[in-house]
Amino acid sequence: MDWHPQSWRDKPVAQPVHYPDQEHLKNVLDKIAKLPPLVTPSEIERLRFQLDLVQQNKAFLLHAGDCAESFDACTHENISAKIGLILSFSLILIWGARLPVVRIGRIAGQYAKPRSSPKEKVGDREVLSFRGDNVNGLDYNERIPDPERLLRAYYCSATTLNYVRALLTSGFASLHHPSDWSLSHVRSPSLRREFESIVASLSDALDFSRTIGVAESGSGRSFEQGGRRGTVGEVEFYTSHEGLMLDYEQSLTRLLPMHSSSKQSYYNTSAHFLWIGDRTRQLDGAHVEYFRGIRNPIGIKVGPSMESEELVRLLDIVNPDKESGRITLITRYGAGKIDNYLSGHIAVVKQSGHPVAWICDPMHGNTLTSSQGLKTRHFGTIMSELTSCLRIHAECNSTLNGVSLEFTGEFNDEGFSVTECLGGSMELSEEQLGLRYQSFCDPRLNFEQSLDVAFLVSNYLKKQRRGEHTGELFDMFSELGGHLQKSSN
């Protein structure tokens, strides 16, 4: 294959960052290139194996976390809250679907963000756009791109990943104690009741297993993890970010032996899973060129501007051998547009013979501005795209294999969640958005709203598993105690 980690430099780069001091940038990149990998080939291969199961409908994919991480949020409280929410969400899915859940966090590297314009207005001043903490600062006096931020991004990613691994091997993820996963601050009685019901049933099941002498690991029904079996006290967890900063990604691309093989491949060791954004998927562009050569499983954002022929050509470029477990398509059309595009994309991918996992991102196509000028999303609109996605896949004899969400488990000292998205079972209004609006990027679902989504999807999967008529998903959600507000759109 006519590819090497630098071959992207011969292609046009979308969303470029212009550093005033190129020598400084080179010195920083040289340092990063000598630093240890953040993830290993064996972990990446294990994820590819599990994503193959997702494509076969033998597992469900949860891709979730912050829209963009900040260096200041690299604290043990925030990291614990994120992991706790991801574990709570996945437990609800497992209970309803009776399928393993592959957990990929938007964490330990999601520090960059694309922008529609290179400049923006801050007050009465025009400044360079904020591109994420690994490029420049949110303060308008720190908008000049600084290469040292790439180095800080590496160390914050390493610190975060180290703490996540420590949490998941220390009993934090034990299914014997799921109530420890930050549920104490959930204000909705119905959500708390539903979750506690699952916890009680799970505890009974575990007690029964111990009584009859079933071991906690090595069960024939356990989730095969690419040659590794899990236990009820330990879960697999993978990291991801948008592969936007190609200089940084190249510095962490290493030629390494493939797991259990004498062959070598190029692995991006900055994360297990990377995705190509909607703004950087040009067929002749630098990002597609870079992504086609790495061994990691990759995601591709698919929106209304993606032509059907373009999608198939893109798949041919990044996965010419049609390898399973390699490609995840992340659809993000918007609630008002999904009916116009998704079925066509499903049809051409089926016809092409490319194996893919289909997951729904109901967040990015449904952003609006509140009357107070805050960027927000309405829970009802998010649910509308998600339920339409489930319906269209069923109509096309296809399966939705997962969800991609922007959510946060953060809460303040008084135990209140963030207030960035409207609606949900807590019925958050526009007047309440400013109470605890903490995102410097896109609005995120808070803990309660995230569990609202988890119960909706779980109940749908449960009915699907039982062969029951799924009916109107909004009605099913209402049965769980949620109260959807009508979308303001």
Task: Find the distance separating the first CA and the last CA of the chain, reported in whole Å.
Answer: 48
106 is in an annotated binding site: yes
Q: Which residues contact 2 (CB under 8 A, 6 or more apart)?
A: none
- Are 378 and 488 contacting, i.e. CB atoms less than 8 angstroms apart? yes
406 is in an annotated binding site: yes
Residue 190: burial class (beta carbons within 10 Å; 0-12, 13-18, 19+):
middle
301 is in an annotated binding site: yes
- Are 272 and 44 contacting, i.e. CB atoms less than 8 angstroms apart? yes
Alpha-carbon gap, residue 484 to 117, rounded angstroms = 35
- Are 104 and 446 contacting, i.e. CB atoms less than 8 angstroms apart? no
Alpha-carbon gap, residue 109 to 270, rounded angstroms = 7
Helix (H, G, I), strand (E, B) or coil at 348: helix
The residue to which tokens 């008529």 are assigned: 469
Q: Computed over its alpha carbons, how large is the radius of gyration of the chain? A: 22
430 is in an annotated binding site: no
Cβ atoms within 10 A of the Cβ of 185, count? 16
Alpha-carbon gap, residue 332 to 365, rounded angstroms = 6
Q: At what angle do helices 76-97 and 148-168 cross, to 10 degrees?
A: 50
Write phi, then psi, for 368 (nearest 5 degrees).
Answer: -140, 170
- For 81, the enclosing helix (H) or strand (E) is helix 76-97
| Beta pairing, strands 357-360 & 402-406 | parallel
Helical H segments across 319-401, by residue range: 338-352, 379-395
Alpha-carbon gap, residue 31 to 43, rounded angstroms = 24
Q: Which residues contact 452 (CB under 8 A, 6 or more apart)?
A: 191, 379, 424, 425, 477, 482
Which tokens go with 84?
A: 């706790």
Residue 119: burial class (beta carbons within 10 Å; 0-12, 13-18, 19+):
exposed
The amino acid at 352: S
Helix (H, G, I), strand (E, B) or coil at 127: strand
Binding positions are 67, 106, 301, 332, 364, 406, 442
Binding positions for Mn(2+) are 67, 364, 406, 442
Binding positions for phosphoenolpyruvate are 106, 301, 332
